[in-house]
Structure 1
């Protein structure tokens, strides 16, 4: 499997660079899947549906989020209706959207850390354990762990 994961796409410059370069890059590298973090894609903070649609049209399969995902209210209903976009799985119950995206034989799990974050999120370790317990072992799984502390990122990697 050939997978390209694009880190944080920030603002119009980042978004336009991806939109311009990705179609050719996807063909040149014979990519099966493209996953991108788009939580800062619109105005440097957040994401709006029009920009998500442009990324999907350019060849992004899954867009992941983070603590800025909910910056623009117009995204809320879009999160519930669009399967290729995620927000952190360990957000509290009742938050719009989903924390897991399935795309063919690829599963993308989106999590957010708790250290140095402005909100109190559910435990990402328990959330990923519960998600993995319900999945087929024959899937390719990518975890986008949006966190501030390197120690927390390393702990998730070892986990």
Structure 2
């Protein structure tokens, strides 16, 4: 089984990159299952229902998210009824939505779990506690994929190493810069610190460079707008043994479009 996990889709440029390239990529690479982080899909913050449905129609099986998921108020109205749009499981339980789902593909039950880190991030519950409670529930799945939305590389690494062998694949998101450390951990979990961003290539993590530079140089408030121009498409392709449900290979995917 081949699984494609796509890094944070940013704004209109990111959505167009998905529309133009994902169907062909699925066909060419013989992809069986697609997960994409969509928390920046709508103008760089959150994802409205229209854009969620567009991603689903293009072949995305599950859309994960992170700290920006509720920046569009309309998400509060529809997320509860969309089991394949995830918000981090360790957010407060007072929020609507789901942190885990199972989708059946190729006679396999593929579980996708969304978690969020705590270092330099908005407050969430301890992800280790959330993960341990999740594992105790013994959910029914054959393959388990985790999108861990976090700022600190060490936090992502520590979490993945702690659950090595209990998870088919662990990918980090949020920093929008693809890391070069994709590998199989000692007990078999496929790992990468960050998938990177699918969005504007000539940008600072998706935003217009001039606006970001102005804030960094002066310290004054600056409203960040999504950059325009050419796109990049980031993610990983993971191969999973259909008998053991263990990852056998993970490789970076980076397209400059």
Residue 15 of structure 1 deviates from its aligned partner by 0.8
Provide the residue aligned with 2:115 in structure 1.
111
Q: How much has 1:29 moved relative to structure 2? A: 1.4
User: Structure 1 137/72 Cα, relative in aligned 2: closer, same or farther at 3 Å?
Assistant: closer
Per-residue CA deviations over 1:106-135 (Å, capped at 9, x if unaligned) read 101000001101x32101011111112223
Q: Which has the higher contact order (CA 8 A, sep 6+)?
A: 2
Matches within 5 A, 1:141-152: 141-152=144-155
Matches within 5 A, 1:22-37: 22-37=22-37
1:122 aligned partner: 125
Shift of 1:137: 7.2
Q: Which runs of 4+ in 1 moved over 2 A?
A: 135-138
Alpha carbons of structure 1 residues 94 and 11: separation in structure 2 relative to 1, 3 Å: same
- How large is the Cα RMSD of the aligned pairs? 1.2
**Which runs of structure 2 are paired with 1:1-159 in the superposition (5 Å)?**
1-104=1-104, 105-117=109-121, 119-136=122-139, 139-159=142-162
Q: Count matched residues.
A: 158
Instruction: After TM superposition, give the deviation of residue 78 of structure 1 in Å.
Output: 1.5
Q: Which runs of 5+ in 2 are unaligned?
A: 163-257
Once the two structures are overlaid, the 10-residue window that deviates more, 101-110 or 127-136, is 127-136
Q: Deviations over 1:67-87 (max 9, x none)?
A: 000110111122100111100
Q: For 2:120 and 2:141, how far apart are their aligned partners in 1?
A: 35
Provide the rounded CA distance (Å) in 2 between the counterparts of 1:93 and 1:80. Answer: 12
Q: Which has the larger radius of gyration?
A: 2
Q: Secondary structure at the match of 2:8?
A: coil
1:57 deviates by: 0.3
Tell me how far 1:28 sits from its aligned partner: 1.6
For normalisation by structure 2, the TM-score amounts to: 0.60
Whether the aligned pair in 1 keeps the contact of 2:23 and 2:58 (CA below 8 Å) is: yes
Structure with the higher helix share, 1 or 2: 1
2:141 and 2:112 mapped to 1: Cα distance? 14
Task: Tell whether the 8 Å contact from 2:102 to 2:141 is kept in structure 1 after alignment.
Answer: no
Q: Distance in 1 between the 2:47 and 2:98 partners? A: 15
Question: Within 2, Cα distance between the matches of 1:39 and 1:69?
Answer: 5
